[in-house]
Amino acid sequence: MYCQRSFERRATSIAGLNRAQLKNRIKHFRGRFKLDFSDDYLDGISVDRLRHILLAALINATSRH
């Protein structure tokens, strides 16, 4: 289960990132799985969607099954 405090901390941190920072974090994501998005795709979606992708990846990468 993902800790509520950790979720809030990550969500707040991600909310403060701009498009370039979000894109960089997604492109260089290091977790249990690889994120493989083209620059064209990342450039074409909203900043909110970029935040959603990054937060979902971080939650998934840190959750225990």
What is residue 11's DSSP assignment? H
Tokens of 55: 């937060």
Tell me which residue of 58, 53, 55 sits closest to 41, measured CA to CA: 53
3-state SS, residue 20: helix
3-state SS, residue 37: coil
Residue by residue, pLDDT tens for the chain (65 residues) are: 457 777 888 899 999 999 999 999 999 999 888 899 999 999 999 999 999 999 999 988 876 65
| Domain ranges, residue 50 | 4-62
Q: What is the pTM of this model?
A: 0.84
- Number of independent structural domains in the chain: 1
Looking at residue 23, what is its pLDDT?
98
